[in-house]
Amino acid sequence: MNSRSLSNLAIVGFIMLGAVLLGLRYRARREAEIARQDSLWELTYEIRFEATTTPSDPTSGISELRIATPFNTPHVQVLSEDWTNAGLTIERKELLQSGTKEVRLSTTRPGIYAPQADFTLRLSPRANARYGPRLENLSRDDRTFYLRADQKRDIPTNDDKVRKDVQTLSQAATTEWEKIEAAFNLCMEIVTDPEAAGGVKEALANKKHTPAVRARTMVTLCRAMGIPARLVTGFEISQTSNAVPRTWVEVFYNQRWVPFDTESGYRQTLPNDYVPVRRGDGPIVIPLEGTIAPDGGERFSIRVLPPNPLVSKGEAKHPFQIFNLERLPVPMHTVMSLLLLLPFGALITAVIRNVVGVQTFGTFAPALLAMSFIYADPETGLAIFLIVVTVGLVGRWWLERLRLLMVPRLSIILTLVILCVVFSVSTFDFMGLTPSAQAVLLPMVILTILIERFHVTVEEDGLMFALKLTVGTLVVAALCYLVLGWEEVGAWVLTYPEVHFFTIAAFILLGRYAGYRLTELWRFRDLIEPGEPVR
């Protein structure tokens, strides 16, 4: 296998290795982040009821309960459910009209039963689009179902008082959405009174009633105006041993079910911690014929569960944490980020040198020069740059007359640079502009080294070539400064240092580059025949 094939194989290998490691780190970080942000809750149904049979034959007949279970929402997902049936038969059924999922508990034996259900819920601040509102097409039967009057459920759409209020609302509103808003605003004017008696008609007449009746009032008004609407019963997730179901409204508008909470005033969107249980009329637990649910026979509780084990697992001490640079102390982050950005500076230098053709003082000099200005504030960096360059050039011109050897001469220049920088720092401090130690030391050391490289180049190749390298170094350093000074890139590469496997692949690719440099195309442009394509 020749060197080109080995190079291509190395490029592919480093790219694949970088992609795999980046994927693994991203997955681990995302799982840990989700585990920290999400919270787990347990919703518990405790039901106590009496199963009876027909009066004529106490040994025959079926007692049955219809129990609605929680829905998945964009922010709340049901992870698991566990039923303690207490000797009852369990049958699951999904209602097609509303999508409500029911569990039916039944028995042919009379007696007192106490089934229990535990639902594990995950509450997440991130929305899962899979469970978001969808466009729906109501069939004729469904539309009729959500427009019907129901005296048993206290939805009196044909009542005179309701019709009068609907007529008033319709006169002030022209569009369907304005009618919905008008009905919502009217229901929000109804004052909450837990002791109020009666139903929707009394709520409209007295302007006060319970939250459940206020929601039922909006459903009644919307249906009376020809707009499909339904009740939704569910819970607000919070720690409580006696959770009270709350009721809100969903109105079918623009091919979507739009939520309205007449108790808290939410419209179009609900808080993340709302979880619906039954859509459509009716409570969460509905006893059928042959079943008696005594007062207080239903109790709901919500409690928070321990955090996801991934949180503690990710924080446990493990050798793999060596590869997690974010665990280092915060003061180290800046230094580590700059170190990890240096290969990018070297990559920029390699591209400029090998592809463009601009020469510099070595490979790392432009990146180190850019890094020295990142550590220093602009004023201090510029001042130190001018001092070092001025002292270096003037000192060299003066020392030329002494005919000294190169090493002692450079040592004298270094001494003069240090003296000038030290007294300049003292001057800054006197003016109340004291720079930090790293803002002075690093730029001075790097610039002094570059001055030495400049002098050596002048001795070996002449002043014009040294000035050419200086201009190239400054241009590439300016490009490196744009990358090294980008805090977002530094934070990203600190999180995902595996990205430098891609950098190595790029270096190998550049190392195999044998084409023309752009400066050579310009330099030898007179040798190209007219009409000859440039390769």
pLDDT score of 53: 59
Instruction: Kindly give the pairing relationship between strand 191-192 and strand 89-94.
Output: unpaired
Distance CA(441)–CA(375), nearest Å, equals 10
pLDDT score of 293: 64
Classified by CATH at the fold level, domain 39-137+230-307 comes out as Immunoglobulin-like (2.60.40)
CA atoms lying within 13 Å on the CB side of residue 504:
18
pLDDT above 70: percentage of residues in the chain: 84
Distance CA(340)–CA(329), nearest Å, equals 16
Residue 463 parent element (H or E):
helix 463-484
Residues 514, 519, 521, 525: is their CA dihedral positive or negative?
negative
Nearest C-alpha neighbor of 134 from the set 234, 253, 255: 255
C-beta of residue 107 within 8 angstroms of C-beta of residue 287: no
C-beta of residue 50 within 8 angstroms of C-beta of residue 64: no
Q: Is 434's pLDDT higher than 70?
A: no
Distance CA(493)–CA(487), nearest Å, equals 10
Q: In the 3-class helix/strand/coil scheme, how is 61-105 assigned residue by residue?
A: CCEEEEEECCCCCCCEEEEEEEEECCCCEEEEEECCCCCCEEEEE
How far, rounded to the nearest angstrom, does the alpha carbon of residue 25 sit from its chain's CA centroid? 16
C-beta of residue 46 within 8 angstroms of C-beta of residue 299: yes
Q: Is 495's pLDDT higher than 50?
A: yes
Residues 6+ apart with CB under 8 A from 227: 176, 179, 180, 251, 252, 253
Mean pLDDT across 506-524: 77
How far, rounded to the nearest angstrom, does the alpha carbon of residue 338 sit from its chain's CA centroid? 26
C-beta of residue 212 within 8 angstroms of C-beta of residue 234: no
C-beta of residue 84 within 8 angstroms of C-beta of residue 46: no
Residues 6+ apart with CB under 8 A from 248: 215, 231, 232, 234, 259, 260, 261, 262, 263, 266, 270, 274
For 461, the token pair is 């190749």
pLDDT score of 395: 74
Q: Is 520's pLDDT higher than 70?
A: no
Please report the DSSP string for 267-284 in residue order. Answer: BS---TTEEEEEESSS-S
pLDDT score of 315: 56
pLDDT score of 339: 81
Distance CA(343)–CA(332), nearest Å, equals 18
Mean pLDDT across 470-492: 83
The string of pLDDT tens digits covering residues 442-461 is 666 677 677 777 777 877 78
Residue 26 parent element (H or E):
helix 3-37
Radius of gyration of the chain from its Cα atoms, rounded to whole angstroms: 39
Instruction: Return the bridge partners of 63, or none.
Output: 107
Q: Is 243's pLDDT higher than 60?
A: yes
Distance CA(300)–CA(286), nearest Å, equals 15
Instruction: Return the bridge partners of 234, or none.
Output: 246, 276
Q: Is 412's pLDDT higher than 50?
A: yes
C-beta of residue 385 within 8 angstroms of C-beta of residue 447: yes
Domain residue ranges of the chain, discontinuous segments joined by +? 39-137+230-307, 147-227, 322-520
Distance CA(284)–CA(233), nearest Å, equals 7
Amino acid (one-letter) located at 291? T
pLDDT score of 55: 47
Q: Is 352's pLDDT higher than 80?
A: yes
pLDDT score of 239: 92
The string of pLDDT tens digits covering residues 261-295 is 999 999 889 999 999 999 987 889 888 766 666 55
pLDDT score of 173: 84
pLDDT score of 56: 47
The string of pLDDT tens digits covering residues 170-200 is 888 889 999 999 999 999 999 988 888 888 9
Nearest C-alpha neighbor of 212 from the set 301, 289, 302, 284: 284
pLDDT score of 182: 92
Cα dist. 217→163, 206, 214, 400 in Å? 12, 13, 5, 99
pLDDT score of 20: 92
* Residue pointed to by tokens 């039923």: 83
CB atoms within 10 A of CB 316: 8
pLDDT score of 324: 79
The string of pLDDT tens digits covering residues 86-121 is 788 888 777 766 788 888 888 888 888 889 999 999
Q: Is 69's pLDDT higher than 70?
A: yes
Mean pLDDT across 392-415: 74
Q: Read off the pLDDT band of 312 (50, 70, 90).
A: low
C-beta of residue 215 within 8 angstroms of C-beta of residue 205: no
Instruction: Kindly give the pairing relationship between strand 291-292 and strand 49-51.
Output: antiparallel
For 323, the token pair is 């590869």
pLDDT score of 376: 63
Mean pLDDT across 396-413: 74
For 515, the token pair is 């084409």
- The better pLDDT of the pair 406, 162 is held by 162
The string of pLDDT tens digits covering residues 198-230 is 889 899 888 899 999 999 999 999 999 999 999
The string of pLDDT tens digits covering residues 25-54 is 888 777 777 667 788 899 999 988 888 755
User: Poorest-confidence range of 238-247, 447-456, 486-495?
Assistant: 447-456
